[in-house]
Structures are given as structure tokens and as C-alpha cells.
Amino acid sequence: VKIGDLGLATIVGKTHAAHSLLGTPEYMAPELYEENYNELVDIYSFGISLLEMATMEIPYSECDSIVKIYKKVTTGVKPQAFEK
């Protein structure tokens, strides 16, 4: 099993938060879209990766655009793969 594309690692202080948007939309935590996040977004990305491995389906494959993925993620709508 190979896992990649979880972002770039860096050491940050307790009060530091990143402020940039970079990633694969299907695996991005809601906080990433708000451009104010910390290392906890990696846990979300890892969980979504586990979902893909368990269901053999790309998360949010029901969406035909990045905008639709954005709307679902930022409003808390889970990918349809959770129904499997």
C-alpha cells in the first residue's frame, strides 16, 4: 500500500496556523478551504484515504466538479462512499 499527496510537512508552533490552499479536493479537510488550519487536517486526509481503501471508491466520486466537492465538504455532507 502506498499513500501519498497528503501535503507538505513542517514544524510549527502551538499558535501557528497555515494560510494557503493546496491539495487534492477529494481529500481536503473543510479547514483547508477556509485557509486557516493546522496539522489536524492530516488526520482528515488519512481518514478519507482509509475510506477509499475500504470502499475501493474515490471519495466524492459522485461530484462532477471541484465546486460540488467544495460545497459538500464545507457543509459537512459525507461522500456517498460512506453508504457502502
pLDDT 10s digits, 47-63: 999 999 999 999 999 99
7 or 64: which carries more pLDDT confidence?
A: 64
- Per-residue confidence at 6, pLDDT binned at 50, 70, 90? low
pLDDT > 70? residue 10 = no
Catalytic residue positions, numbered: 5
Q: What is the pTM of this model?
A: 0.72
- Per-residue confidence at 4, pLDDT binned at 50, 70, 90? low
pLDDT 10s digits, 21-46: 567 889 999 988 887 888 888 899 99
43-51 long-range contacts, CB within 8 A, separation 24+: 45/6, 45/7, 46/3, 46/6, 48/79, 49/3, 49/6, 51/79, 51/81, 51/82
As a whole number, mean pLDDT of residues 13-18 equals 57
Contact 21, 36 (CB under 8 A): no
